[in-house]
Structures are given as structure tokens and as C-alpha cells.
């Protein structure tokens, strides 16, 4: 802790005596929010309440533990809604409206194509709808490592703006032709100081991270008996460790020195490690420890400038559940398991791909050594065409999107969600096979009147009926389970059948892709998140939060912008043709992606 204290004092001194005097006179210096506050919204992706408590207790989050012990901050239970997936959470948090985002990937039946939140064009398409209907939270502020921009001044560092033309403003410096020289030099000096440190830290860690990652990957492949996703994981861990997290942390420090009224940064490293090695694995916890040190840098910078009145909010979108891959339980992927039977799949390309993958898998077991391994890999590659979120997916008539411990089944011949009677008529026997699978806990469908139905074995629970909703809640193990199941089925883009790996017959939580830590579904560890907040808000101040829209409402009220933004949106909906935007960086609603 002595080392942490020294680093904290060093950051405070640099921010107070060097960065702030330079940045305060630059063109990028900003006034506070209308409430006279400034806010830092720091998002730890994939870290649930149980995970953050365990990490603090075991010494993997010393900065956050000290923050709570010394004050003035508290830890509160919170909830991020369903699906337990980052894009859905960010849509509600940053725009404050209902969203049609059933996961990280899904199949759009109206467009007849996959939608992926790791693709900038798809993120922009969704953001355009969110911006048209909602109120961006980050107007006049900054965003880093997010899928959506939330109306920040520059969306370069959100996925929705990732492939747009690079410009000086993306690095906190205005165009020379449009700015006075003296303030511009101040901005350039501040940006150079901060990002020189960023580059130095990245350069120092890059080689070691690649080498250690390659060694660890080889050990894992040997112990797990599979190399699925490992090469992508090596690439992602270098990105998250060496690039994104360092850049986001140091950019927040620069924003603090400039007095940026509101900044949001998402730190994605732990989530990726938990998927591949498990949420309680040493690798995932060590990544959380590294993120804790980066957060310490941001906290120290905010403490160095108390006159700027920065409030810190540190939170998560969802937690992670330890899982077993369905392939380990079934001996094949979920797509093969459900769709390799002709009558169930409805035939077509789906059946041919599933049957071919199953045949290859069977043959691989009969062949020795490398030949068997090669055929097993070919079987998995063939089964990928059953995944509607893959660009090269089969044509249907049934496709599946395995997305953590939740999977969406789509009937591709219909552009609207199918009701239960129509599913049974179009695909006889499909629901029965799904609910009797050892890898499936529940199958969620829309009833004849559109009501939410949960199927499990021979049971059929209508979730609008209190007694049956209570039974479902008890089986899943979370008091909000029925609420969130209904939320999922209200989404037009959710599957015709939504499969949950929670409370599976095989025991525990099952992941439908090949991963050992999952989210997306309704496991209690995923639904219970956390919020670290100023202590003057009281104990358990966020325990009543049910959906991310609740957080948007709170932050808008805290910023002092809520009333005037609601009036702007209401006037737009009432046909007011005037300009709804207003001048000022931190005041009223600004266009998204400005």
C-alpha cells in the first residue's frame, strides 16, 4: 500500500501543479454542469456485486476498498436489467429509453441479417435510433471504450464512431486554422504530456504481455483440450491490457485537468478474461487488480482538484456466472443438438449444416491423433453456420444465436416474432426437445396473446400470473427473474424461443458458446451489480434500481439537466420544427455523435 500511496501522491502533484495550470487556459477547458457539479462515470464491465466484494476481500481491489473505508463513498447493490449484456445496458444508461437489443449479437428478422455490436456500422445504426428517441447523457462530455457515444462531443472513442475520419479534436486539440495559437498550444501540451505517458506505459508492457499471453495460452489449450477462441483471446487481451484501458484511464485524467463536466469510460478487461478462464480465475482477478490501479490514477486526479467538485460513480452493467460449455455436456454444439434432426429443423440449409457437423464430429471420435483433432475443428467450423450472428450463416429456416448463458432461436421465414402456437405448428417437436435438453434450464416463448411463458420439462408457467411468476423466480434464484424474463420477450428482436442456461438439468449454469464465464441470461450472479457512490446519497442508495434507464434518470437529475431535456424531447414529439439544440457545452440536449 505504500507504493500505492506514493503513486497517488505523485499523480495528485502532477495534476495539481502541472496539468491543471496548463489545461485551464486551453480551448478545451470546460465549465461545470448546470448543477455546478462534475461527474466521472467509471464502468467496470462484467464485475458483479459478488465479484467486487470478493476481490476487495482477497486484496485484488485495494484502491476501491480504501475508497470505501476512508470515504466519502459507499457501496450499494444495483441492477442493470436484462439482457445482462453491455450494449443493452449502455443504451438505457446513455439514452434513458427502452431498447430493442437482446444481446451482444442477434438476428434481425426484418432486415434478414445478423446484428453485431462489435461492428461499427451496426453500432451507428442502433445509435441513430437511440438518439432520435432518447436524451443523450454525455452532452458536452467525453466517452471512452463504449459501444455508443451518448452524445459526447467526440464519438471517436466509441465503437459507433471508430471508423470515422480521424481529426485533431479526437486527441483533445482543435484545428490550428480555427483556434487562437496560445490556448491551442496549452491544449497540445496537456495532450502531449498525458499521451506520452500512455504511449510509454503501453510500450513497456506490450512485449511482456504478448510473451506471457502466448505461454499461458499454450498451457490452457493443453489442460482444456481445445484451442477454441484462444487466438482471438490473445489479440483481445493485448488490446484491453495495453491499449484501451491505459488510454481510457489517462484520457480521464486529462479530462479532469480540463474540467470536463461529465466523462464516461468503460473498462472491458476483466469481462474478457472471465469469459475464457472463469470469473474467479486468478487471471481474471489479476486483470481486475490492474484495472484497480488504473482507477486509482483517476481517483487521485479528481482528489487533486477538489474545487472542481467531481463526483465519482463506479459501477457495472452485469456480473459473470461460472459456467460449463454446452459442448462439454452434449458432446456437440447446441445448434447441432437441436437442429440436426430434420423434422425439428424444418430441413433446408440448417439441417444440412447441422447434420454435416454431427457426422464430422462422430467421425473425429473414431480417428486417432491429429486427424481426429482436425475433423473436430472442422465440425465446429461447420456448426458455426448455424449461428445467425455469423456473417456466413445458413439460410434457415431455423437459426440460433448462442450468446453466453442465453440463446435465441429464430424462425427465419417470418419477419415478426412467432407466438407459441405458431412455433409448435411450424416446428413440431422443437420446444419439447429444447426443454428436455440437459443444457437448458428454461425456454421462454410468447403465448397466444403475447404473454410471457416459461417452459421447463412438462411445466408451463405463465409469468403474468403471480403464483407462477413466483415459481419461476424461485427456480432461477433471483427476485427480479420474472420481471426480466418479461422484459426480454417484449423485445421485438429477441428470439422466437429464448433458451436460458440458468438452472439447467445438468446442474449449475450452462454457457451455449465455448466459455467458462458467462452473462446475457438471468443467473443471480449476473443480475446483481454494484454502484460505488458519494456517501451523502445514503446507504443502499441504488438498491431500488431495476433497469439502466433508472440510472440515466438519476444522473440527469444530478447534473441539473433533466427538466430542460425532457421539455426539449416533448417539444420535438409535439411537432415543434424549431431547433431543439441549445448552445453551451454542458447545458441542454445536443445531437448525438457531434
Q: State the Cα–Cα distance between residues 413 and 427, nearest whole angstrom.
A: 12
Q: Judge whether 561 and 569 are in contact, CB under 8 Å.
A: no
> For the chain, how far is it from start to end, CA to CA, in angstroms?
42
Interval 143-156: pLDDT, tens: 999 999 999 988 88
Which of 316, 345, 338, 299 is CA-nearest to residue 5? 299
Helix (H) or strand (E) holding 287: helix 282-304
Q: How many Cβ atoms sit within 10 Å of the Cβ of residue 113?
A: 14
Helices (H), 367-480: 369-383, 420-426, 430-435, 466-476
Does residue 397 have a cis bond before it (omega within 30 degrees)? yes
* pLDDT score for 488: 98
| pLDDT of 585 above 50 | no
Phi-psi region of 592 (alpha: psi -120 to 50; beta: other; left: phi over 0): beta
Q: State the Cα–Cα distance between residues 236 and 418, nearest whole angstrom.
A: 37
Q: Judge whether 258 and 30 are in contact, CB under 8 Å.
A: yes
As a whole number, mean pLDDT of residues 522-530 equals 97
* pLDDT score for 557: 95
Strand ranges for 355-458 from DSSP E:
398-402, 406-411, 442-446, 452-456
Higher pLDDT residue, 311 or 283? 311
| pLDDT of 364 above 70 | yes
Q: How many Cβ atoms sit within 10 Å of the Cβ of residue 201?
A: 16
* pLDDT score for 376: 86
Confidence of residue 580 (pLDDT cuts 50, 70, 90): very low
Percent of the chain clearing pLDDT 90 (strictly above): 62
| Nine cell digits for residue 128 | 441513430
Interval 539-559: pLDDT, tens: 999 999 999 999 999 999 999
Cα torsion 407, 413, 416, 421: sign:
negative
| pLDDT of 324 above 60 | yes
Confidence of residue 172 (pLDDT cuts 50, 70, 90): low
Q: State the Cα–Cα distance between residues 467 and 228, nearest whole angstrom.
A: 43
Question: Torsions phi, psi of 459, nearest 5?
Answer: -90, 145
Q: How many Cβ atoms sit within 10 Å of the Cβ of residue 432?
A: 15
DSSP classification of residue 158 = B
Q: Hey, what domains does the chain have and what are their CATH numbers?
A: 2-162+173-320+527-573 (3.40.720.10), 323-518 (no CATH)
As a whole number, mean pLDDT of residues 283-291 equals 92
Cα torsion 483, 485, 487, 489: sign:
negative
* pLDDT score for 593: 52
* pLDDT score for 211: 66
Supply the mean pLDDT for the chain. 86
- Give the 3-state secondary structure of residue 558: helix
Q: Judge whether 40 and 32 are in contact, CB under 8 Å.
A: no
As a whole number, mean pLDDT of residues 246-250 equals 90
| pLDDT of 56 above 70 | yes
Interval 383-431: pLDDT, tens: 888 888 888 888 878 899 999 999 999 999 899 999 999 999 989 999 9
Q: How many Cβ atoms sit within 10 Å of the Cβ of residue 209?
A: 17
Amino acid at each position: 500500500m505504500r507504493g500505492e500511496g506514493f503513486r497517488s501522491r505523485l499523480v495528485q502533484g502532477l495534476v495539481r501543479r502541472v496539468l491543471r495550470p496548463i489545461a485551464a487556459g486551453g480551448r478545451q477547458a470546460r465549465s461545470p454542469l448546470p448543477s455546478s457539479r462534475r461527474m466521472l462515470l467509471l464502468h467496470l464491465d462484467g464485475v458483479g456485486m459478488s465479484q467486487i466484494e470478493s476481490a476487495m476481500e482477497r486484496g485484488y481491489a485495494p484502491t476501491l476498498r480504501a475508497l470505501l473505508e476512508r470515504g466519502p463513498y459507499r457501496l450499494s447493490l444495483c441492477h442493470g436489467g436484462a439482457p445482462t449484456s453491455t450494449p443493452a445496458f449502455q443504451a438505457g444508461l446513455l439514452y434513458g429509453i427502452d431498447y430493442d437489443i437482446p444481446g451482444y449479437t442477434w438476428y434481425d428478422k426484418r432486415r434478414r441479417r445478423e446484428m453485431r455490436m462489435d461492428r461499427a456500422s451496426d453500432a451507428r445504426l442502433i445509435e441513430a435510433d437511440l438518439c432520435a428517441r432518447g436524451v443523450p447523457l454525455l452532452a458536452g462530455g467525453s466517452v471512452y471504450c463504449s459501444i455508443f457515444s451518448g452524445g459526447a462531443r467526440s464519438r471517436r472513442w466509441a465503437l459507433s464512431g471508430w471508423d470515422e475520419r480521424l481529426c485533431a479534436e479526437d486527441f483533445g486539440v482543435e484545428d490550428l486554422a480555427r483556434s487562437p495559437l496560445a490556448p491551442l498550444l496549452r491544449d497540445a501540451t496537456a495532450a502531449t504530456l498525458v499521451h506520452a505517458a500512455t504511449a510509454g506505459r503501453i510500450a513497456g508492457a506490450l512485449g511482456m504481455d504478448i510473451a506471457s499471453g502466448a505461454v499461458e495460452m499454450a498451457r490452457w489449450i493443453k489442460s482444456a483440450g481445445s484451442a477454441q477462441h484462444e487466438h482471438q483471446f490473445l489479440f483481445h487481451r493485448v488490446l484491453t491490457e495495453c491499449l484501451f484501458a491505459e488510454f481510457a484511464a489517462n484520457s480521464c485524467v486529462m479530462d479532469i485537468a480540463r474540467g470536463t463536466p461529465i466523462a464516461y469510460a468503460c473498462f472491458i478487461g476483466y469481462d474478457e478474461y472471465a469469459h475464457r478462464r472463469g470469473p474467479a480465475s486468478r487471471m481474471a482477478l489479476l486483470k481486475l487488480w490492474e484495472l484497480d490501479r488504473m482507477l486509482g490514477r483517476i481517483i487521485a486526479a479528481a482528489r487533486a482538484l477538489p474545487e472542481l467538485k467531481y463526483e465519482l460513480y463506479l459501477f457495472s452493467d452485469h456480473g459473470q456466472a461460472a459456467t460449463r460449455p454446452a459442448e462439454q455436456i452434449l458432446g456437440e454444439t447446441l445448434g447441432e443438438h437441436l437442429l440436426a434432426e430434420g423434422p425439428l429443423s424444418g430441413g433446408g440449409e440448417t439441417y444440412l449444416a447441422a447434420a454435416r457437423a454431427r457426422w464430422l464430429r462422430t467421425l473425429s471420435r473414431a480417428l486417432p491423433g491429429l486427424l481426429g483433432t482436425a475433423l473436430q475443428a472442422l465440425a465446429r467450423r461447420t456448426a458455426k453456420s448455424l449461428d445467425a450472428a455469423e456473417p456466413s450463416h445458413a439460410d434457415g429456416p431455423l437459426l440460433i444465436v448462442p450468446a453466453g448463458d442465453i440463446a435465441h432461436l429464430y424462425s427465419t421465414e417470418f419477419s415478426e416474432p412467432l407466438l407459441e402456437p405458431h412455433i409448435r405448428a411450424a416446428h413440431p417437436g422443437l420446444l419439447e426437445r429444447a426443454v428436455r435438453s440437459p443444457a437448458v434450464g428454461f425456454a421462454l416463448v410468447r403465448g397466444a396473446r403475447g404473454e410471457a411463458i416459461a417452459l421447463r420439462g412438462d411445466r408451463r408457467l405463465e409469468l403474468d400470473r403471480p403464483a407462477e411468476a413466483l415459481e419461476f423466480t424461485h427456480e432461477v434464484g433471483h427476485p427480479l427473474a420474472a420481471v426480466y424474463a418479461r422484459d426480454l420477450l417484449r423485445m421485438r428482436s429477441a428470439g422466437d424461443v429464448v433458451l436460458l442456461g440458468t438452472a439447467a438439468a445438468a446442474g449449475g449454469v450452462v454457457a451455449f458458446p465455448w466459455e467458462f464465464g458467462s452473462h446475457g441470461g438471468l443467473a443471480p450472479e449476473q443480475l446483481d451489480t454494484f454502484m460505488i457512490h458519494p456517501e451523502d446519497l445514503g446507504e443502499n442508495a441504488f438498491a431500488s434500481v431495476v433497469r439502466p434507464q433508472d440510472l440515466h434518470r438519476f444522473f440527469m437529475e444530478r447534473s441539473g439537466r433533466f427538466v430542460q431535456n425532457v421539455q426539449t424531447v416533448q417539444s420535438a414529439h409535439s411537432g415543434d420544427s424549431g431547433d431543439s439544440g441549445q448552445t453551451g457545452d454542458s447545458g441542454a440536449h445536443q445531437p448525438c455523435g457531434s
